[in-house]
Copies of this chain bind each other. A is one copy, B any other.
Amino acid sequence: MRVLAAQINQTIGDLEGNARRVLAALKRAKEKKADIVLFPELTLSGYFPDDFLLDNAFIEACWEKLEEIRPATQGMFVVVGLPRRNPMGKEKSLFNSAAVFANGKLLGFKDKTLLPTYDVFDERRYFEPGCEQPIFEYLGRKIAVTICEDVWQHSKQAGYSDYHCDPVEDLKEKHPDLVLNISGSPYYFNRKDVRLSVFQAVAKTLCCPVILCNQVGVNDQLVFDGHSLYLNEKGETIQIAKGFAEDDLWIDLEVHACPCAMPENGIKDLYEALVLGVRDYLHKQGFKKGMLGLSGGIDSALVACIAKDALGAENVLALSLPSRYSSPGSVSDAVHLAKNLRIELRHVPIDSVFQSYLDLLEPTFENEMCELAEENIQSRIRGAILMAFSNQYGHILLNTGNKSEMAMGYTTLYGDMAGGLGVLHDVTKLHIYQLAAYVNKKQEVIPEAIIRKVPSAELKPNQTDFDTLPAFEVLDPVIEDYIEERLTPEQIAAKRKLPLDFVRDLAHKMHLAEYKRRQAPISIRVTQKAFSKGRVIPIVQKWR
**Contacts of A117 on B, CB cut-off 8 Å?**
117, 122, 124-125
Name A125's contact: one of B122, B281, B413 (CB within 8 Å).
B122
Residue A137, interface by CB 8 Å: no
A residues 30-53 with Cβ under 8 Å of B?
A: 48-52
Contact B414 A11 (CB under 8 A): no
What does the 1/0 interface line of A45-63 toward B look like (CB < 8 Å)? 0001111101111100000
Partner of A538, one of B50, B89, B353: B50
Chain B proximity mask over A110-130: 1 for CB below 8 Å, otherwise 0:
000000011000101100000
Which among A13, A160, A377, A388 has the highest number of chain B CB atoms within 10 Å? A388
Taking CB atoms, residues of chain B closer than 8 Å to A17 are: 542
For A, the interface residue count at a CB cutoff of 8 angstroms equals 90
A92 to B163, CA, bound (A): 8
Given contacts A162-B90, A357-B353, A542-B17, contact A50 B536 (CB under 8 A): yes
> A396 → chain B, closest Cβ, in Å?
9
Q: Is the CB of B357 within 8 A of A384?
A: yes
CB–CB B540/A218 < 8 A: yes
* Smallest beta-carbon distance A495→chain B, Å: 15
The minimal Cβ–Cβ distance linking A349 to chain B, given in whole angstroms, is 8
**Are A543 and B12 within 8 A (Cβ)?**
yes
CB-CB nearest in chain B for A12: B541
A376 to B90, CA, bound (A): 49
Interface residues of A in 137-163 (CB under 8 A from B): 160-163
User: Contact: B356 with A352, CB < 8 Å?
Assistant: yes
Shortest Cβ distance from residue A540 to the other chain B in the assembled complex, whole angstroms:
5
Cross-chain contact A414 with B89 (CB below 8 angstroms)? no
Chain A 266-282 interface 0/1 with B at a Cβ cutoff of 8 Å (1 = within): 00000000000000010
Q: Which residues of B contact A355 (CB under 8 A)?
A: 356
Given contact pairs A357-B388, A518-B521, A537 touches B373 in the complex (Cβ within 8 A): no
Cβ A388 vs Cβ B377 within 8 A: yes
Contact check, A361 vs B348: say whether CB atoms are below 8 A apart.
Answer: yes
**Alpha-carbon distance A193/B518, docked complex (angstroms):** 33
Complex CA distance for A391 and B521, rounded to whole angstroms = 22
A220 in the interface, Cβ–Cβ < 8 Å?
Answer: yes
Q: From A518, which residue of chain B is reached at the shortest CB distance?
A: B522
Docked complex Cα distance between A107 and B355 (Å): 70
Q: Mark A1-44, 1 if CB is under 8 A from B, else 0.
A: 00000000001111111000000000000000000000000000
Question: In the complex, A388→B90 CA distance in Å?
Answer: 53
Interface residues of A in 485-503 (CB under 8 A from B): 486, 488, 490
Measured between alpha carbons, how far is A360 from B161 in the docked complex, in Å? Answer: 56
B380 touches A384 (CB 8 A): yes
Question: Does A369 make an interface contact (CB < 8 A)?
Answer: yes
Q: Is A387 an interface residue (CB 8 A)?
A: yes
Q: How far is the CA of A161 from the CA of B162 in the complex (A)?
A: 24
Q: Is the CB of B537 within 8 A of A50?
A: yes
Once the chains are docked, how many angstroms separate the CA of A148 from the CA of B365? 50
Which chain B residue lies CB-closest to A544?
Answer: B13
Docked pose: A364 CA to B350 CA in angstroms = 13
Query: Are B50 and A122 in contact, CB atoms less than 8 angstroms apart?
Result: no
- The residues of B that contact A348 with a CB separation of less than 8 Å are 360-361, 364
Q: Assess whether B11 is in contact with A541, with CB atoms less than 8 Å apart.
A: yes
Beyond A58-B543, A125-B117, whether A537 also contacts B51 by CB under 8 A is: yes
Taken together as a complex, chains A and B put the C-alpha atoms of A380 and B397 apart, in Å, by 16
- A168 interface hit (Cβ, 8 Å): no
- Does A385 touch B at the CB level, under 8 Å? yes
Task: Name the one of B14, B372, B538 contacting A219, with C-beta atoms under 8 angstroms.
Answer: B538
Q: Does chain B have a CB within 8 A of A370? A: yes
Q: Is A284 an interface residue (CB 8 A)?
A: yes
Interface string of A325-362 (1 = CB under 8 A from B): 00000000000000000000010101011011101110
At the interface, yes or no: A515 with Cβ under 8 Å from chain B?
yes
- Return A407 CB to nearest CB of chain B, in Å: 15
Q: Are B360 and A164 in contact (CB under 8 A)?
A: no
Bound CA span A38–B370, Å: 49
Interface flag for A315 (CB, 8 Å): no
Contact A542 B11 (CB under 8 A): yes
Question: How far, in angstroms, from A162 to B85 measured CA to CA in the complex?
Answer: 14
**Residue A420 at the B interface, CB < 8 A?**
yes
Of all chain B residues, the one with the shortest Cβ separation from A125 is B117
Which 4 residue pairs are nearest across A and B when measured between Cβ atoms? Answer: A13-B543, A14-B542, A414-B414, A356-B356
A–B Cβ pairs within 8 angstroms, 25 of them: A11-B540, A12-B541, A14-B542, A15-B543, A17-B542, A50-B538, A51-B536, A52-B543, A52-B544, A57-B488, A89-B162, A90-B162, A90-B164, A92-B161, A118-B125, A122-B125, A350-B360, A365-B392, A367-B392, A377-B384, A380-B414, A384-B414, A413-B418, A414-B418, A518-B522
For the A-B complex with A90-B162, A367-B392 known, give 10 more contacts whose Cβ atoms are closer than 8 Å. A11-B540, A49-B538, A52-B541, A52-B543, A117-B124, A122-B536, A357-B388, A361-B388, A373-B392, A376-B391
